[in-house]
Structure 1
Amino acid sequence: MATETAAGTATGAGRRSGLGESAPRPDGTLKVTGEFAYSSDLWLEGMLWGATLRSPHPSAWIRSIDVGPALAMPGVFAVLTHEDVPGEKFYGLDVRDQPVLAVDQVRYQGEPVAIVAADHPETARRAAAAIVVDYEKREAVTDPRRAAFDPSCPAVHPEGNLVRHQPVRVGQTFDAEVVVTGEYEVGMQDQAFLGPESGLAVPAEDGGVDLFVATQWLHVDQDQVAPCLGLPKEKVRLTLAGIGGAFGAREDLSMQVHASMLALRTGRPVKMVYGREESFFGHVHRHPARMRYEHGATSDGRLVYVRAEILLDGGAYCSSTPAVVGNAASLGVGPYEVGNVWIDAYGVYTNNPPCGAMRGFGAVQACYAYESQMDRLAAACGLSPVEIRVRNAVSQGSRLATGQVIDSPAPLADMLKELAAVPLPPEPADERPDLRLLPGGVAQTTHGEGVRRGVGYGVGIKNICFSEGFDDYSTARVRVELAGAEPHVLVHTAAAEVGQGLVTVQAQIARTELGIARVTVAPADTAVGSAGSSSASRQSYVTGGAVKTACEAVRARIDALRAAHPELSLEEVLERFGPVEETREYRHRPTFPMDPVTGQGDSHTQLALCVHRAVVDVDVELGLVKVVELAAVQDVGRILNPLALEGQIHGGTAQGLGLALMEEIQVRDGRVLNPSFTDYLIPTILDMPPMRVSVLENPDPHAPYGLRGAGEPPTLSSTPAVAAAVRAATGLDLSRVPIRPEDVALSPLAR
């Protein structure tokens, strides 16, 4: 029988569960039963609780901070401001522009100003509220277009408001027989993970700190935290705590430095846990985007050129905005062959909430615009939405707008044809409709008189792994030893299990490569080399590759020992010669930065395709939308775990549906209006329709096992598919997501 441990996964000798099988997840039962230990469950005797005072203003000077009232409260052990930061006062993923605690000004609502440690969480919160800050409010820069192009706009940072401008220039022909234009907007989406930011910092005897935290990137956290604490990296040790979802928001720091500062100042463990409202201010969000597109084509629908301006609002700090801009620019025309391209992608600073990584970043925003354009082009050319895409689809050997050749299978035309052939769900009965199946369900006030059905398609192309010359690698340590007289494998990486099933896949690879059933995946920490971030759909590729490579090295040593001693069994070899251990790094093939003027360059290592069809019912009287069915076709190269893969496709699709119809952080004048799950809506099981999923396996010869990252592509194509279906049902020219009820409720005359 399988056994489950907090460390990872171990299986009895009777179960192989190698690659290609739906191996059970070790955390599955624990999560379903509520027994899984998340980072918010961490506890140490004598620990203190940390709390953060945040700015109520999106833009203001700080004239003074009085911590006296907080320090005077019983149970308060420390109150710290920027003056107490022991090392570097700034951190950041790409640019170290974000203060640990606000120095002389605040640049967004919710910016941390001071932190408190107390013996009870409520005491800590009351003490934070007692701190007196004298703010001098100033004009907030909230319009990204003004921030980017108006010379009279105030500068959010001394260097100006432009984070990155990435052009793409190909060809010189920008006139055509058929021309369609459009302006599109994508709202600010939240990652909406269910486990808020939390962690526990423990002061160590060597003067360092041990930090147990929910994060996506242990070593980059370490790289940022250590300088802020004034400590060498080896004295800042991070261990991954249980994570309740991530989707990009845990790439940036949240409470890591704050809890560590408080622990070092008080000499006691300090735990910090954000509430849901604070979480909305404590992490980055998806970049809202404003986009202008022009597509030119021949009369029979062959693309001639694409012009685009993509403007991404990065908010108050840089975070991963440069990479988001790079993705939007390089993938800005989608998976279509077009010989002439003129793209300008911009990322700018504003006093809006900081934005950074979220599932499919940069590519999601561009996909909504270029797919909306393909539907407009289809209508202008008298073609179906499928036919216009088939005629322009890339394939192996095609070039992206950046000049990069697609050198692995890309059967997009066949995927579209397969999707179009999937039978449509039956039309609803005309007589006495079941209210539960109508938009709004039994809570609606009509009986379906105004319900109209629509069908829409969406196609997305997503880069896999890090791009533009980033040194993208992972490290794995694999050890084979005797445990209870049986061979046992220990796999140790720093890769963050954020709910995607990575622990399971690492164990499956070890079983497959070594032929040993009993495998344990050790807790991820910084005691082993970096595994990079659990983002960009990269961990199966790079950490899977590292585990595979380390296992191969271990197997080679064992095979050599057994060849030298053919009379010995594996158990006897391990007993005589001891454990066999190897550590290996795995890097994918190199990528290169995009040319800053032309945008040319082999910036990506792998590309993945997914296509969606959405069927929706829209009540045009009430403005309500019900997604009746979603169908998807995705090429994953090779299936490693069928059940986990299906979950990734369903999950990514759900987030795309949410962006299409309901998910948006409402920001007005730099202030967040809906920081709760009461007002920020995410899809529930009642909003997700039945899904038909077809998974193709066309191996990528450059990737371990031929696999292709699969977690992000469904998020791209589901959003434009749902939006297109709503357009088809209503006849409205909808150009913004999420689509709101007032956008689709038709006037009586229009009906």
Structure 2
Amino acid sequence: MSTLTREPTTVAGGVGTSAPRPDGVLKVSGEFAYSSDLWADEMLWGATVRSPHPSAEIRAVDITGALAVPGVYAVLTAADVPGAKRYGLEIVDQPVLAVDEVRYEGEPVALVAADHPETARRAAARIKVEYAVRAPVTDPEEALSRGDLVRHVPVHRFASAGGDALTADVVVTGTYEVGMQDQAFLGPESGLAVPAEDGGIDLFVATQWLHVDQKQVAACLALAPEQVRLRLAGVGGAFGAREDLSMQVHASLLALHTGKPVKMVYGREESFFGHVHRHPARLEYEHGADRTGKLVYVKARIVLDGGAYTSSTPAVVANAATLGVGPYDVPTVVVDAYGVYTNNPPCGAMRGFGAVQACFAYESQMDKLAAAIGVDPVEVRRRNAMTTGSVMPTGQIVSGPAPVEELLSLVRDRPLPPEATGDPRERPGGVANTTRGEGVVRGVGYAIGIKNVCFSEGFDDFSTARVRLSVLGGEPAVLVHTAAAEVGQGLVTVQAQIARTELGVSQVTVATADTSVGSAGSSSASRQTYMTGGAVRAACQAVRATVLERTGRADALSLVDGKVVASDGSVVASLVELLGEGDVEETVEWRHKPTMPLDPVTGQGDAHVQYAFAAHRAVVDVDTELGLVRVVEIATAQDVGKAVNPQAVVGQIQGGTAQGLGLAVMEEIQVVDGVIRNPSFTDYLIPTILDMPPMEVDVLERGDPDAPYGLRGVGEPPTISSTPAVVAAIRAATGLALTRVPVRPDHIALAP
């Protein structure tokens, strides 16, 4: 394959333009087909029987009542799983259907297939399971003392041979808690499994990672991977929750057993039990600094509740540990992060992935440090801000741009919004407030966070792209095919933009993602534009090199508007003419620079590919009598390296900030003794358009020389620093410590 080092040409709808999304109009008009809209002739409906207990032995399962219901085609239990009884992202420990015991409320125990969804649900309700209920372990600290450990990641780096003697002129300490947050995506888990003539299965599903689903499903069905063909159906958001399996194996089992297509769609309540959530956390921090506020050391202990099964807890723990001191230069670091098993709901990936929990704690500490030395909260951050060449707690050198101080200055220097008028709609609680604003106080808070991009710790992170250049309707056309999951982030648009830029062709089609092409990895870790974008770019460059070679001219330089252009600007040939010799197709498997595992004793090593940064300033009004909070404005600044699609970048920043605001003041799955108390959007609150304030956004483009087009992952950083910024503003207004998120009204109104 030829390597082309020449610069790509620009084209309408290419990189750096706000190219429109092909799914945009369909989604806002309600015409987009999501996975829950799938249909097939003679289709059956699947339903799941779930445990009502967080911990119990299974003594017996009686399915006779379900089998007697007219319209029921199959009832399956763990004994009917033909292959591996368990699956898992990193550790294979989660049962397809419960075997002998259940370890969390909502664990799947049995399956039903029937000719109507209500029939399937009625039949499922008639299955009798005899449980011997056990006392659940729901306290992570108790689990840690029992040795129920998923992973411990130590990150210990000392500035001198003095070892762990942690002393400083100014010392601030704090203990912080983060509640369990739900991804709250638009479309609940759903998909359609269709039995195939070769004895395999065709699965149409909303997911984040087609090939890892394929691997796990094939193992559980005792099929070869090539007999399990996955095709991405319309995805209504993901945010990490679709990395793990939900209904994939269940629908496939029922389809193979009945010989008919089987569709499964979770209701909203079942969805709360059917996917992982953000890890709740308890974080103990100690910051030591000199009298100017310059950090001398940070010591931290982080405990993450992984719930009943592993999921991606090991990687989340590693992120919390390695990013646990924030975007600051700290000579001595002692961080110990733990993930533990409990009988709470399983927790795994969610936007921000370990960095969210740590950021709330270390940014709260930076505010404490600012108060202790009597300086502005932004100033103490600026004095400690890392730069290019800074050393991470793991010993890794930050090789790319790290404009931490610049981001902080941008949000600080934004004009503040005007004070609220007498309009009751501008008060916390709005027109329903029972006070008249007597106790309303304004506060301003700041925060900045750091996030890794792409997979880490030596993971073989790659993406595959197949690009074909051909003639269609008398014009050159490009077909891009990857397995990258479009989950609402605009990845389909980005792939087309890259193809237009590299090949100078405006007509680009992006094929539906499926497993007939090589893996693209997961749509997570803010990695797809970096990884699949890099793969598409490399495949396009290979196609372009072949086309230029066909001209036989050494001065053939670039492709512009369907033509080959020489170095002097003259047209060498048309693409249509050159493609008369046949289509050009290239498949490329693209990797980023290598990472390495962390040392298991010290936590040292070059674990991450790239670092991304975002800063927030929040302005809030707080009714101190009622504990109500109104976020008046949020200003944010983020370095994106290169805005491949500027409008989409701003949308990602706005969306990520909304989720961070939700965690700050309203979002929490209430779990009591292992039982979820609020599995609905009536009781689990998420920000609406009325809760989101005006946002002022500064987008920096400080290109990363190691990344395609210099870009950085965009999706996660705004979720990380928005939460502590909002809480810092509430603290500034109330003078309260507020060490737990979400901040509830009683934390303010009933504070001693």
TM-score per shorter chain, which class? over 0.9
Distance in 2 between residues matched to 1:746 and 1:145, nearest whole Å: 27
Letter in 2 for 1:46: E
Letter in 1 for 2:409: K
Distance in 2 between residues matched to 1:569 and 1:620, nearest whole Å: 70
TM-score by length of 1: 0.95
SS at match of 1:165: strand
Q: Contact 1:188/1:285 (CA < 8 Å) preserved in 2?
A: yes
Does the alignment pair 1:118 with 2:114? yes
Distance in 1 between residues matched to 2:597 and 2:137, nearest whole Å: 30
SS at match of 1:125: helix
**Where do residues 522-541 of structure 1 align in structure 2 (5 Å cutoff)?**
522-541=511-530
- 2:323 is aligned to 331
Q: Give the alignment's Cα RMSD to 1 decimal.
A: 1.2
**Where do residues 502-581 of structure 1 align in structure 2 (5 Å cutoff)?**
502-563=491-552, 569-574=574-579, 576-581=580-585
- 2:7 is aligned to none
Distance in 1 between residues matched to 2:705 and 2:55, nearest whole Å: 51
- 1:163 is aligned to 150
Shift of 1:415: 1.6
- 1:76 is aligned to 72
Letter in 2 for 1:491: V
Distance 1:441 1:126, change over 3 A: same
- 2:185 is aligned to 193
- 1:462 is aligned to 451
Shift of 1:255: 0.1
**Where do residues 291-690 of structure 1 align in structure 2 (5 Å cutoff)?**
291-429=283-421, 433-563=422-552, 569-574=574-579, 576-690=580-694
| From 236, 241, 263, the counterpart of 2:233 | 241
TM-score by length of 2: 0.95
Shift of 1:428: 2.3
SS at match of 1:314: strand
Identity %: 72
Q: Deviations over 1:264-290 (max 9, x none)?
A: 000000000000000000000000000
Q: Deviations over 1:178-224 (max 9, x none)?
A: 11000000000000001000000000000000000000000000010
Distance in 1 between residues matched to 2:11 and 2:47, nearest whole Å: 46
Distance in 1 between residues matched to 2:406 and 2:587, nearest whole Å: 42
SS at match of 2:307: coil
Q: Contact 2:659/2:719 (CA < 8 Å) preserved in 1?
A: yes
Shift of 1:569: 2.5
SS at match of 1:30: helix
SS at match of 2:552: helix
- 1:48 is aligned to 44
SS at match of 2:366: helix
Letter in 2 for 1:528: V
SS at match of 1:417: helix
Distance in 2 between residues matched to 1:471 and 1:437, nearest whole Å: 51
SS at match of 2:652: helix
Q: Contact 2:11/2:501 (CA < 8 Å) preserved in 1?
A: no
| From 18, 22, 25, the counterpart of 1:22 | 18
Q: Contact 1:202/1:269 (CA < 8 Å) preserved in 2?
A: yes
- 2:124 is aligned to 128
Q: Contact 1:620/1:746 (CA < 8 Å) preserved in 2?
A: no
Shift of 1:15: 8.0
Letter in 2 for 1:493: T
Structure 1 portions without partners, runs of 5+: 1-13, 152-159
Q: Contact 1:636/1:695 (CA < 8 Å) preserved in 2?
A: yes
Shift of 1:417: 1.5
Does the alignment pair 1:98 with 2:94? yes
Shift of 1:236: 0.1
Distance in 2 between residues matched to 1:604 and 1:555, nearest whole Å: 32
Q: Contact 1:476/1:583 (CA < 8 Å) preserved in 2?
A: yes
Distance in 1 between residues matched to 2:391 and 2:577, nearest whole Å: 55
Letter in 2 for 1:330: T
Segments ≥4 residues shifted beyond 4 Å: 564-568
**Where do residues 206-225 of structure 1 align in structure 2 (5 Å cutoff)?**
206-225=198-217
Letter in 2 for 1:488: A
SS at match of 1:561: helix
Distance in 2 between residues matched to 1:372 and 1:380, nearest whole Å: 13
Distance in 2 between residues matched to 1:248 and 1:490, nearest whole Å: 28
Letter in 1 for 2:277: H
Distance in 2 between residues matched to 1:573 and 1:68, nearest whole Å: 68
Distance in 2 between residues matched to 1:563 and 1:359, nearest whole Å: 49
Letter in 1 for 2:640: V
Distance in 2 between residues matched to 1:560 and 1:342, nearest whole Å: 56
Distance in 1 between residues matched to 2:377 and 2:487, nearest whole Å: 36
Does the alignment pair 1:253 with 2:263? no
Distance in 1 between residues matched to 2:95 and 2:530, nearest whole Å: 34
Q: Contact 2:56/2:131 (CA < 8 Å) preserved in 1?
A: yes
Letter in 2 for 1:435: P
SS at match of 2:612: strand
- 2:741 is aligned to 737
Does the alignment pair 1:65 with 2:65? no
Letter in 2 for 1:514: L
Q: Deviations over 1:594-630 (max 9, x none)?
A: 1111010000000000000000000011110000000
Distance in 2 between residues matched to 1:110 and 1:148, nearest whole Å: 23
SS at match of 1:374: helix
Residues 168-177 or 244-253, more deviating:
168-177
Shift of 1:591: 0.5
Letter in 2 for 1:362: G
Shift of 1:413: 1.0
Distance in 1 between residues matched to 2:292 and 2:575, nearest whole Å: 66
Q: Contact 2:669/2:679 (CA < 8 Å) preserved in 1?
A: yes
- 2:561 is aligned to none
Distance in 2 between residues matched to 1:306 and 1:724, nearest whole Å: 20
